[in-house]
Amino acid sequence: MIVCWSVKGGSGTTVVASTIALMRAAESQRGALLVDLAGDVPAVLGLAESSGPGINEWFANCDHGSRMTLQSIAFQATANLQIIARGSKQLDAKEKEIRNFSELCAALKIFDLPIIVDAGCGPPSPDLLAHASSSLLVTRPCYLSLRRAAQLSVSPTGIVLINEAGRALGKHDVEAVIGAPVVAEISFDAAIARAVDAGLLASRIPTIMSNQLLAVA
């Protein structure tokens, strides 16, 4: 399981997670599963918003006897990629606090597929990270992002660095602050934004994305 996350909104986490999921789905005979904890995956993939229950509804229903199965809320996004959407329910603070990620990870094993999780902004649950083979922090070489990352109590196994022209900070600065290796660098490119804006990411991944994420997908 690959968990993608960021410390600051707008870092590109959902685009990175979705691209990795599409690449894994294309190379696996069984396909892949993308779990959307952040809520932006349908928009990034050019899909209609899911109107059915999602992962938030699953978390909120703590009654095991009546709880829906994860298989029942997964839907087919492409021929090889399934998605479990965030759902329409907004969890309150108490519901967020009691989310059982160990139970979620155990339930996800029934899929027997490569699993990618878009964990959104903020450090993921330690229980989620404990079950992950890779924890990828998606960040720009931005002072504010690195300042927040330096204060975290959890460390990623790798960093996906979104490079922007003109930044004073670079790869080695990011690695030194976060204490993890940069495993992929993605140059900020208008072709990526155009693919997302046009809803074409699921059908045509920009070459610059697929080439630069090959090492982690």
What CA–CA distance (Å, rounded) separates 4 from 138? 7
Structure tokens at 78: 């492409």
Q: What is the pLDDT of residues 176-190, one digit of tens each?
A: 999 999 999 998 888
Residue identified by tokens 């790798």 is: 158
Chain CA centroid to CA 155, Å: 16
| Architecture field, domain 2-212 | 3-Layer(aba) Sandwich (3.40)
Report whether pLDDT(94) > 70.
yes
Query: How sure is the predictor about 215, in pLDDT bands with cuts at 50, 70 and 90?
Result: confident
Query: How large is the angle between the packed helices 143-150 and 171-178, nearest 10 degrees?
Result: 20
Nearest to 113 by CA among 43, 44, 35, 16: 35
pLDDT at 65: 66
Query: How sure is the predictor about 165, in pLDDT bands with cuts at 50, 70 and 90?
Result: confident
Report whether pLDDT(8) > 70.
yes
Q: What is the pLDDT of residues 46-84, one digit of tens each?
A: 998 878 899 999 998 877 666 789 999 999 999 999 999
Decide: 137 and 6 in contact? Cβ < 8 Å: yes
Structure tokens at 201: 């990411």
Query: Where in the chain are the domains?
Result: 2-212
What CA–CA distance (Å, rounded) separates 25 from 33? 8
Q: What is the pLDDT of residues 98-155, one digit of tens each?
A: 899 999 999 999 999 999 999 999 999 999 999 999 999 999 998 888 899 888 888 8
Residue identified by tokens 């993939």 is: 45
What CA–CA distance (Å, rounded) separates 215 from 103? 29
Decide: 91 and 56 in contact? Cβ < 8 Å: yes
> Any alpha helices (H) in the chain, and if so which ranges?
13-27, 41-44, 55-60, 70-73, 93-97, 101-108, 126-130, 143-150, 171-178, 190-197, 207-212
Query: How sure is the predictor about 191, in pLDDT bands with cuts at 50, 70 and 90?
Result: confident
Q: Could you tell me which residues are beta bridge partners of residue 135?
A: 3
Higher per-residue confidence, 93 vs 214: 214
pLDDT at 61: 86
In angstroms, what is the C-alpha Rg of the chain? 17
